[in-house]
Amino acid sequence: MDFIRINSKEDKYFDDAMKIYEASFLIFEQRTLKKSNRGLGK
């Protein structure tokens, strides 16, 4: 397994990571994209 840092929505693996995230957490446990962007420093 490799560690790949995702720094923005424009990163190559962002969409794949979001699909995994959405499948892994119930909707009410998920952060909104706006809040996720704060975590990405945006």
CB 41 within 8 A of CB 11: no
The pLDDT value recorded for residue 36 is 61
Q: Does the pTM exceed 0.85?
A: no
The pLDDT value recorded for residue 37 is 55
The pLDDT value recorded for residue 32 is 67
Tell me which residue of 18, 16, 20 sits closest to 39, measured CA to CA.
18
The pLDDT value recorded for residue 15 is 92
CA distance 21 to 36: 11
**Alpha helices by DSSP H, the chain:** 14-24, 33-39
CA distance 42 to 24: 24
The pLDDT value recorded for residue 12 is 94
Q: What is the pLDDT of residues 1-42, one digit of tens each?
A: 899 998 888 899 999 988 988 898 888 887 766 566 555 555
The pLDDT value recorded for residue 35 is 60
